[in-house]
Homo-oligomer: A and B are copies of this chain.
Amino acid sequence: MRLHGYYRSTASWRVRIGLALKGIAAQGAFHHLRKGEQRAPAFLALNPQGLLPALETNDGAVLTQSLAILEWLEETHPDPPLLPRDAVARAKVRAFALAVACDIHPVQNLKVLARLRAMGQPEDAVTGWARDVIAEGLAACEALVREGRGPFLFGDAPTLADLCLVPQLFNARRFAAPLDGLPRLLSAEAACLALPPFADTAPEKQPDAE
């Protein structure tokens, strides 16, 4: 398998964690987001959306969108599971993952921030936007798991929810979003980062890290 990614792309990091948890080795292909390499014709031929990550499977299929890739991974390599067995519990885990993947990340990503700059917004307003979106989003995420028990977001083992949380907290620090009032999120993050599949796939450990 071949994973097209970028060290600091949080969606790419989600997939790196999933592959590592499942014990799957994938070759890396690196595309520099800030230099716009995801819009190069050769990459657009693979993923017309021009977004990272994309996973080339051993059968030559090209899968895109981190959560679709992770659901495919779960269906084709079920152990260890990234989702619980009970349908309602699965829905709760997926809802948390989507609260990050839909409601936080796309509203604070590079593309949106570039759009704000192009509208003439000053740099402090642009980073303030990212910080506010992340802070509000993470506060809602904390509320979603307030009643639960750890060490991970949904109990004894990491799920799709933790795979989305850890990279989003990395972005939170990058934009200096406040992290107080998030005890469940931070303790789940600590439990995750004690595991090599999370720690070893961190942005700063990637071959394309700057």
Contact = CB atoms under 8 A, between A and B. Distances in A.
A102 B95 contact: no
Please state the number of chain copies in the assembly: 2
Interface string A85-120: 001101110110111011101110000100100010
A49 interface: yes
A182 interface: no
A61 B125 CA distance: 40
A72 B49 contact: no
Contact of A129 (B95, B98, B115): B115
Consensus secondary structure, chain A interface:
helix
A23 interface: no
A27 to B, nearest CB: 19
Given A49-B143, A63-B88, A88-B61, A107 B112 contact: yes
Contacts of A168: none
Interface residues of A, number: 45
29 contacts: A48-B143, A48-B144, A49-B140, A49-B143, A49-B144, A61-B88, A63-B88, A63-B91, A64-B95, A64-B144, A65-B94, A65-B98, A65-B99, A67-B94, A68-B92, A68-B95, A68-B97, A68-B98, A69-B91, A72-B87, A72-B88, A72-B90, A98-B101, A102-B105, A106-B107, A107-B112, A115-B133, A119-B121, A119-B129
Interface of A: 48-51, 57, 59, 61, 63-65, 67-69, 71-72, 75-76, 87-88, 90-92, 94-95, 97-99, 101-103, 105-107, 112, 115, 119, 121, 125, 129, 132-133, 140, 143-144, 146
